[in-house]
Each structure stands twice: as structure tokens, then as C-alpha cells.
Chain A
Amino acid sequence: MRVNFTVNGRKQEADDVWEGESLLYVLRERMGLPGSKNACEQGECGSCTVRLDGVPVCSCLVAAGQAEGREIVTVEGLADYARHRDDSHPGAGCAAGTCGTSLDAAQRWQARPSDGQSADAAELSPIQQAFIDAGAVQCGFCTPGLLVAADELLETQPSPSDQDIREALSGNLCRCTGYEKILDAVRLAAARQEETVR
């Protein structure tokens, strides 16, 4: 079957989709958007979290057909989504579906000249930057899902309490960090957000 939907602000169509394919599979394997991760395919780990018409969902549990005509935001579009949060239509984001990673690109990353600060602040959403700054990323496999969930939390609840953060992120497993630095990151993003608003 064919599925039409909007991904990170750009209209997409996927052909030859099997009945049983999940939205996660279509995003990763057909759209070239591997940012959403597959760690359980059971809705238990949250690694595959994307926003479907604004609502965070486990994309492994959404049949591709259910996404017909709807808007999806993945981690690849998060920075852009955050920039256009107030617009009704998020911007181009990852256009052309080409932000998947080729073998080549995968091997090109390097240690940036670090002065302890991040260089790309302008390109990242506040929550992405906060995850880097707070040391909330280790292996990073859980990170995309956590970012999408945390970004939605901060959108709806700009100054969450610790219990609020825990509740909002309780569907996202992380095996590396012990979560403390993830809490730090969400607090940091909230604090920075508060500062900008003032």
C-alpha cells in the first residue's frame, strides 16, 4: 500500500508498504530517518518515540497505515520543530528524507576542539543542548526517544517538578546513565527556557 504523511514538516509518500510494517520501520528503512531507535518493538522502552500530530507515541506500535495524512516529528526534526513551536506548520526540518546516515558519514565524526562548551548551540533545540551539557548522553541509544518525550513535557509544562519529569519520562528506558543526568538535563533546559522568557 501507499502511505502519505508529513514528516518533520515535509510531505512524504511511502510505496509498497506491507500491511504489518510499523511507522518506525517506515521511518527508519523507507524514509532514511534512522534517528528513532528500535530497542524492543513492544512499546516498552520508548526509544522509538515520535510525535504524531503533536502527541508522543511509540512509533513501533503504530501501524504505518495509521499515519496516513498525519504529521510526524522525529528527533531529526526536533531542533526545527522547537524553532517553529508557535507556527502552525513546522518548517522544513529534515527535508528530502536524506538525513539518514551513510557508512561514509558515520565514519566522519571527530572530536571537536572542545573548550568544554558546545559549538553548535544555534542548530540544536534547548533540550538537545541540555542533554549534551549535562552529560545525559552515554551510549545515546535512548536519547532520541527521551528528547522527543522531554521536549513535549517542556512544551506543556515549562517548569516541571522532579516528580513531573519522572512521570513524563517513565516510558523511556535508559540502561547507561542511571537517569540522574537526564533529570539534570531537563531541569537545565527548563531553567534556560525560563531565562529566555524573562
Chain B
Amino acid sequence: MALHPRAASVPAGTPTKITQGSKTRGGIGESTLRPDGTLKVTGEFAYSSDMWHEDMLWGHTLRSTVAHAELRSIDIGEALATPGVYAVLTYDDLPAAMKNYGLEIQDTPVLAHGKVRHHGEPVALVAADHPETARRAAAKIKIDYAELPLITDEASATAPDAVLVHEGRTDHHIGHVPHPNVVHRQPIVRGDADAAAERADVIVTGDYVFGMQDQAFLGPESGLAVPSEDGGVELYVATQWLHSDLRQIAPVLGLPEDKVRMTLSGVGGAFGGREDLSMQIHACLLALRTGKPVKMVYNRFESFFGHVHRHPAKLHYEHGATRDGKLTHMKCRIVLDGGAYASASPAVVGNASSLAVGPYVVEDVDIEAIALYSNNPPCGAMRGFGAVQACFAYEAQMDKLAAALDMDPVELRQLNAMEQGTLLPTGQRVDSPAPVAELLRRVKARPLPPEQQWLSADADGSSVDVRALPGGLSNTTHGEGVVRGVGYAVGLKNVGFSEGFDDYSTARVRMEVINGEPVATVHTAMAEVGQGGVTVHAQIARTELGVSQVTIHPADTQVGSAGSTSASRQTYVTGGAVKNSCEAVRERVLEIGRRKLGTYHPAWATAELLLEGGKVVTDGGEVLASLADVLEEEAVDVELEWRHRPTEAFDLRTGQGNGHVQYSFAAHRAVVEVDTELGLVKVIELACAQDVGKALNPLSVVGQIQGGTTQGLGVAVMEEIIVDPRTAKVRNPSFTDYLIPTILDTPTIPVDVLELADDHAPYGLRGIGEAPTLSSTPAVLAAIRNATGLELNRTPVRPEHITGT
């Protein structure tokens, strides 16, 4: 059968740390298939928007139509009188003293009180027997807004007489920020950048603008809240971190945490957009008020207002180098617009500043990153988390520097590439493999895709397949004004939560005999958002416990926290927790074996014992007993927390500190064809090389890298939430106007996976989800610059930037 060759490859025979025999099939390192795959292809998998309950009501949110205004009055009378309406709630109906929530700073109102701070802020809630009834009733609520002056950028935020987005701030950042409209500021100073600049033969500076990107996960915010008999509530919802939600939900409902029981329902993608709460509290409030189950589902329009976006950024960079290409110094200033509420802005600032220099050795740096409060849409977590914006700028700078030095841009990068042992600008030593030069070498060594693939194979070569040209099916060119360009980029991302955060996870593992077969059950609160954590947990349990049957218990709050499915951390931390708990289960099983059967064979006492293929075996391969015989009716059940090495906060003046736990590296080469007449770009190929430490599931690893690469491609050429600078209103909250790449916009993405073990991580693995999102954007930009000779300092690149119209 003629299958197209897979673009991806994973080299075999790489070092790992497997503490247990790996002969049980379906263990780590194999491309086992998703346990939820069959349900997902048959339509039976229940996403949060599919939840259904007899007698349920539909909730709807009324959102602010203006960006910044005093709320003079809200009249709900007519809405409440609408037939089919069960409840209309405003700020006055909130049941507890605590009326705000937030990831780090509790500055986000459950429902607006006093004023609204951004377009689309929730103001009132309606529950009705049909979603359309709820929508229509909400439209009858009358709100009197008195508009306030707008804060939309750094100048308006920090002007001496600027209106404060949040008056009377009491959070712990207020003491060190230059202005109350600045959420957080992190400088990083190391060496003496001014003195080092004296040694530079060439200095390049640049100003860069990164547009506001949206996670645009396909499964909109949704969930079902069911009131329970004890006065509490059960919530079935799509989220990234159940326990973080719980910690924020319970206080505003006025309930103890054990009365809010959360279960993860099917999640249709997340990418950071589900770190903050959306409809969780709203649905619970309506359910508790009406005594009925309430379902809420955002439509796409509302989804654009229902979650935070990627911080748009303005970045100013200066790099210097000696004639032979060695970097002398780097100075930069990064201004992130955090919008109306803090969300994850402080942590994004920490990342943007500490990773601002990228994967390069620069001893003398002067870095400053800030996040603003403004009346723009709130921004927070999105794949790459602050490192993306910096990578866009420092990679453009490397190309500029290479041009100024007349050097090959890849060589310049390799010459300055960090490696194991390099000091980061924070003074932290990189203590695991950092194959930056090698990743670049790999993408560069790959043969280029053939030129002019749109020329058809006709005998005379005269016809073209317009589908392969810029503009594609719209048939805008037959290749006349089409030029090719090639660009490179590499990036550095931290893995896991940084800056001293207690980043732990919990796993409960149970082993018992069912129908004569040993079965392991893995119970964690990890949010499976599509990344494949459930697959990997089953693989880890098979590897560590030598059983083939593994049940993944649904994620809920009946087990300890797993932390967030973000920061590329979940396989590292919850995977580590599963491994750790499995090891404890294994020890307990062996103890039982020794107790029951130890007298039958001396190896029970003397040999190193493994669990393999459902049996207890010696490391020499001798079978001592089957697990079924060891356990019989007994079950072993262990729940343990697991932590990675601690990190520490960055010094607020110098930025020094061992803030990160692990790093992730990816490099891209982009090949583009540009129609210079119409300004249309077609990305032909976007090759990636990434070090993953150890590929626990090669198929999923490659899938993650391709997905991350595509999101980076999106922001390079099409994705941007456009906020009107005069009104701070969002102009394009729909898939008609906010464009994400289709299969026609996405090129082939060959992936080269390196596995250089990180000795500090479980199995040597490295978090992988985010790194490919960093470097793909600057690689595409570099390729477009290479094709057109234009400077292009802003993303996304639009046709008018290329044609100059």
C-alpha cells in the first residue's frame, strides 16, 4: 500500500531513566493510542457543552457594551417578567462578602459593581427554560452607563493625571510599581550593559509590536451546575485546573470548598484560555438561586469576551556585537498590555523579562518588563506565556545583527548559542542539555522543499495548480509576482511554574485483581484538554506496574490538586506524581508478596524485583509469582503528592534568582512564497527541531509540536484581536473576522525530535507544549523579510505591510 511517508521521525536508542522493566506493551516510549479516541470519533465523548440534565435551565450573561463607565443603574424588571425566565442576577445578588476573584490578585468582579472596566465585562445573568428566552430577556435589561476616560496604552496609563483602572490597590505588587496602572514591573540587570556597549563594533536597535492573539480553542466555554441537597453545588466544566477554580469559586458562593464538587467534563482545547474562570461562578449562582441545574454555553462571539488573550506587546531592543559576531550586550524594554484585570500578568512579566535574552550567551544585560492595567480586554495566559513576544523581537534582532555584520544568520545564532552550563541573565545556571546550536543545525541541514511546487507536472509545464499558490483557491496569481524566502528562529521557554511557586501534583494509584487480571487505576485531577495526558498516565502505570490494564479515573476534586495543565508542566509534574505513586504501589505489592510467598523462593529476599507482564520477576528474568496470586482479594491504594525541585523569586531590583526549574528549546525553518503584488503569503514548509528529553509518546509529541507551530504561524500572518484605539471595543469577535489557520494555510510541518535526557526530570523528559509556539512566528517573519527585503517589525503581517499600501 502506498502511504505517504510520515514527515516526523524520532531517533531510537536514546538515554532515559526507566526504573522498572519496560516489557509490558503500551508503556512509555511507545506511540500508544488515546484512550478517549474511540469516543471522540464516534461523537460520544461528552464535552462540557454536551452536558444535559433533566429539567435544566439555560444561563446567559449580559455583557458591557462600553469599555469604561460608571454603572449608574441596572433595571431588570422587564427581563424578570419575561415568561420562561427563572432568575435575573446582578451584583446586588451576590451572596458572600467576597465579590471578586482572580488567579493571583482578586481584582475581577463576578459581576460588575460600581463600574465596568472593559468591553464585554459581565454585568448581569439570566436563567431561562430556552437559551433564546434567556438571550432575549437579557436584552431587556436596561443599564445606564456614564462613560469614563479610557486608558489604552502606556502613555495614557502612566500620565500624571491618569484615571486609575483600580483605585485603592492593596496587592503585593503596588509597593514596587512606578504607577498604580502598572500591574507589575520586573527589571533584570546583570553586568554592565553600558560599558559592554563600548566594546561593540556593531549595534542594532529595533522596535517591535506583537498583536493580541486569541487562544481560539474550538470548544467554547461551557458547563453544567447542579444544586445538591446539602446546599452545595456540583459543577461539570471544561477547565485547566480544577482546584484553582475551586479556590476562587467557593468564597464568592459563600460555601466551604467541600460543598463545591467539581468534575472535569470534556475539554475542547485550552492553550491558556481556561486558566481564568469564565462561566463557572455564574452557572453556580444561577443554579443555587433557582434550585435547578443550569447549563451555560458561550457562543463564539461571547467566547472572545469570555477569556483572557495573549498580551499584546511593544518591545524595544538593542543588541551589540564584535566584528567576529560575539554578542557584547543586550538592552530591552518590554511593555505588555494586561487589560482591565490582572489575571496572570505578573507571572507573564516574570517570564518575558527572565527569558528576554533568549537562548543566547550575553553577560551584560539591562532588561525591563512591565504589564499595564488598561481598559483593553484582559490578557493572561496563552501558550508560550510572555516568552513568545520576547522571542519575536530577539530573533528579529539576530537577523538584523547578522545583516549588519554580513554574517549568515544561523551561524551568528550558533556562535552565541547557550549550552549546558550557561548563565541566564537571572544568574541561574542551565544545568541540563541545551542543544540550541544543534537544533538550528538540524533544521538548516534539511533539504529545502522543491521550488515552484505549484507548477503542474504537465508535459509542457505550462499550467499551474493555483491551490498551491499564495491566495490559493481564490486564484489571484499564476505565479508571476511570487518570490520565495527562507527564515530561521530558535526559542527558549521555561517549563513549569516559576518564581518560587509550590508547583506540586497529586496522584492516587490503586492496584487490584479484577476477573483474575491485575488492573491499575490512576486518579488525578489533571485536566485533559487534548494534550494526551491520559494516554501518558496509562503508559506510565503500565511501565511502572507491569500491568496491561489501566483505568483512568475521571478528573475531579475528590483527589488532591494536579496543578494546571499549562506551562508545559503536566507530563513532568503529574506524570511524575503518577510515577511516584506507582513506585509506592509497587513497593507495597512486593511487601505483600514477600509476606505471603517469601518462603517459597529465596529471590523474594535477595533479588532486585520487577513487575512485568502481570508478574513479579527478578532482574534476571525469573518469574516468582503472578500479581493475581500476590494480591488475591487485596487492593493497594496510594495517594501521594509530588514536587519538582524548588525555585525562588526574582529579586525585584536586579532580577537575580534561580527562578526556573527546566527549559525547553525548539528551532524552526520557514519557507514562504509571497505574492508581492497583492501582499499574500503562502507558507510552504515550517520545519521544526525540538529537544523533548524523552518522548513518552512519540506520536503525541509530534502532534503537539505541529499544533504549537501552527499557532505561531497563525499570529505571524493572520491572527489578531483588533481593539479600536478610540473606544477600546473589540472589532472582530468572530471566526469570520478573527482568522485562524485552515488546512490550506498550514504547510507540511516536518518534525525532528531530539531526546537529550534532563537528569532532574522523570524519565529525563522535557515539557514540550509551548516551545514550538515561540520560534515559528519569528521564523515565518524572517522568511517573509528574506523574500521581500522589507523590515516588517509587527505581527501579524498584513497584505498592506507587504505592498506598502
Contacts and interface: CB of A to CB of B under 8 A. Distances in A.
Nearest to B51: A103
Contacts of A86: none
A35 B42 contact: yes
A173 B218 contact: yes
A182 interface: yes
Interface string B512-539: 0000000000100000011110110110
A178 B713 CA distance: 10
Contact of A99 (B44, B299, B711, B743): B44
A129 B299 CA distance: 30
B552 A120 contact: no
Nearest to B686: A178
A104 to B, nearest CB: 10
Interface string B743-768: 11010110000000000000000000
Nearest to B772: A178
B550 A128 contact: no
Interface in A121-180: 124, 128-129, 131-133, 135, 137-144, 147, 162-163, 165-167, 169-180
A174 B263 CA distance: 25
Majority secondary structure of chain B interface residues (helix, strand, loop or mixed): loop
Contact of B220 (A38, A76, A115, A128): A38
Given A39-B220, A40-B735, A116-B33, A176 B269 contact: yes
Interface stretch (B2-10, B173-181, B185-193, B344-352): B2-10
Contact of B218 (A139, A162, A170): A139
A65 interface: no
A161 B51 CA distance: 39
Given A109-B35, A175-B271, A38 B548 contact: no
B217 A135 contact: no
Interface string B696-722: 000110110011111100000000000
A40 B36 CA distance: 24
Contacts of B271: 175
B50 A101 contact: yes
A62 interface: no
Contact of A135 (B219, B220, B703): B703
Contact of B744 (A36, A76, A124, A167): A167
B703 A105 contact: no
Given A47-B218, A167-B467, A179 B41 contact: no
Contacts of A131: 37, 41
Contact of B41 (A20, A137, A139): A137
A177 to B, nearest CB: 5
Interface in B32-82: 32-47, 49-53
A114 to B, nearest CB: 4
B36 A38 contact: no
B305 to A, nearest CB: 15
B120 to A, nearest CB: 17
B651 interface: no
B805 interface: no
A37 B458 CA distance: 42
B300 interface: yes
Contacts of B25: 114-116
Contact of A140 (B530, B736, B743, B748): B530
A89 interface: no
Contacts of B266: 106, 140
B549 A75 contact: no
Interface string B203-233: 0000000000001111110001000000000
Given A41-B299, A188-B3, A116 B746 contact: no
A114 B49 CA distance: 29
A33 to B, nearest CB: 7
Given A75-B42, A76-B43, A132-B37, A170 B746 contact: no
Contacts of B44: 35, 76, 99, 101, 105
A39 B551 contact: no
A182 B38 CA distance: 16
Given A100-B50, A170-B473, A74 B734 contact: no
A111 interface: yes
A56 to B, nearest CB: 15
Contact of A191 (B1, B51, B219, B551): B1
A141 B269 contact: yes
Contacts of A88: none
A41 B709 contact: no
Interface in A37-67: 37-42, 44-45, 47
A170 B734 contact: no
A193 to B, nearest CB: 10
A106 B33 contact: no
A4 to B, nearest CB: 21
B46 A113 contact: no
A18 B740 contact: no
Nearest to B40: A140
B467 A135 contact: no
Majority secondary structure of chain A interface residues (helix, strand, loop or mixed): loop
Contacts of B734: 40, 42, 44
Contacts of A113: 26, 548-550
Contacts of A102: 52
Interface string B551-593: 1101000000000000000000000000000000000000000
Nearest to B751: A180
B40 A135 contact: no
B206 to A, nearest CB: 29
B742 interface: yes
A2 interface: no
A34 B266 CA distance: 12
B132 interface: yes
A26 B269 CA distance: 25
B265 interface: yes
Contacts of A188: 3
A139 B217 contact: yes
A137 B549 CA distance: 22
B300 A141 contact: no
B735 A44 contact: yes
Contacts of B479: none
A184 B702 CA distance: 13
A134 to B, nearest CB: 8
B50 A34 contact: yes
Contact of A139 (B49, B132, B220, B268): B268
A85 interface: no
B181 to A, nearest CB: 33
Contacts of B706: 177-181
B449 to A, nearest CB: 13
Contact of A143 (B41, B297, B554): B41
B468 interface: yes
B30 interface: yes
Contacts of B552: 110-111
A180 to B, nearest CB: 5
Nearest to A41: B299
B707 A178 contact: yes
Contacts of B529: 139
A175 B535 CA distance: 20
A75 to B, nearest CB: 4
Contact of B532 (A42, A45, A138, A171): A138
A34 B216 contact: no
B38 A132 contact: yes
B2 A101 contact: no
10 contacts: A37-B49, A38-B220, A38-B297, A113-B26, A128-B42, A163-B465, A165-B743, A184-B6, A194-B1, A194-B2
Interface of B: 1-4, 6-8, 25-26, 30-47, 49-53, 130, 132, 215-220, 224, 236, 263, 265-269, 271, 297, 299-300, 465, 467-468, 473, 522, 529-532, 534-535, 537-538, 548-552, 554, 699-700, 702-703, 706-711, 734-736, 740-744, 746, 748-749
Given A106-B265, A140-B530, A143-B41, 6 more contacts: A38-B297, A42-B736, A76-B43, A110-B550, A135-B703, A140-B266
Closest 4 CB pairs of A and B: A35-B43, A139-B530, A141-B268, A178-B706
